[in-house]
Amino acid sequence: MMISGVIFTTPYFSFPSISISNKLIPATSAGINYVIRCSTSTPGLPVTTERLRNDAPLTGGAFDFEKATTSLTKKVLDSPKKVTIVRHGLSSWNEESRVQGSSNLSILSEKGAMQAERCKMALSDMHFDQCFSSPISRAKTTAEIIWKGKEEPLVFLDSLKEAHLFFLEGMKNEDAKRIYPKEYTTWREDPSNFCVDGVYPLQKLWGRAHEAWEEILLTRGEHFLVVTHKSILRALICTALGLGPERFRSVDINNGGLCVFKFNKEGEAMLQSLNMTAHMYTDHVYHY
């Protein structure tokens, strides 16, 4: 069956009437004119999207991206930004099921290096103005593999370091649970209340996430790559979305997983993609 026009007429995004015909019929509702043209078997009819009066495309994206969230910069940016965040590849302590934290003793494993290469291939068609990375070994090595061959130097930010977990760092999870049952269980099940000598690691982590966002977003350029660790990555996601430390474990990111944020010029964030991992299992190359 040939369909050469689909017209939706709707106030407030309900659908009281839909007309399908072989003619292009304009529709008006609540002072808004829009037409969606589509084509299946008619090669001469282009696939186009007319825009609303405020120039927002009807493509399934956000209707309007003004005053969407809280600004992360409190300053107007030089341009809208896109930020792709990568969790480092599998590390030696990931493989050994040890608590990593901010320790620099956990290094990128052979499998982790292969994951980093897959990230590089998956992002090969993307242009990034700058790459920011944690200076901790497992993230640093991942970033060096992905960024190899680029003209711009890597930028290492202390604000992208992993959470400091004190005496738990380096311990196997099973040992930490046995030797420090209260502290380990709090970290795993109620991390926002995990406290050592009056220090709350997640409060520190949230503060550094805000610092990292400011450093990244106030850099000139439009598309940035960030390579870091899971806990700080969770904090970056939550702070961008206005979520507190109590929501720390509400998101998860695999080794080599990609997350993408868009920012308007006000420094307000929109999460576009979370934990993309198709490139870990296929030769998928991203275009976004």
Q: Which residues are identified as catalytic?
A: 88, 162
Close Cβ partners of 98 (under 8 Å, ≥ 6 residues apart) = 106, 170, 171, 172, 173
Amino acid (1-letter code) at residue 58: L
DSSP three-state, residue 157: coil
Amino acid (1-letter code) at residue 200: Y
Quote the tokens at residue 130. Answer: 């700058």
Alpha helices in the chain (DSSP H): 92-95, 110-122, 137-147, 173-179, 181-189, 201-217, 230-240, 278-281
Amino acid (1-letter code) at residue 178: R
Residue 206 is labelled as binding a ligand: no
Residue 208 is labelled as binding a ligand: no
Q: What share of the chain is helix, strand, coil (3-state, %, to 5)?
A: 30, 20, 50
Residue 103 is labelled as binding a ligand: no
Close Cβ partners of 64 (under 8 Å, ≥ 6 residues apart) = 54, 56
Residue 61 is labelled as binding a ligand: no
Quote the tokens at residue 211. Answer: 């610092």
Residue 88 is labelled as binding a ligand: yes
DSSP three-state, residue 193: helix
Residue 91 is labelled as binding a ligand: yes
Residue 87 is labelled as binding a ligand: yes
Report the Cα 82 to chain-centroid distance in Å: 9
Binding residues for substrate, by number, are 87-94, 138
Annotated binding-site positions: 87-94, 138
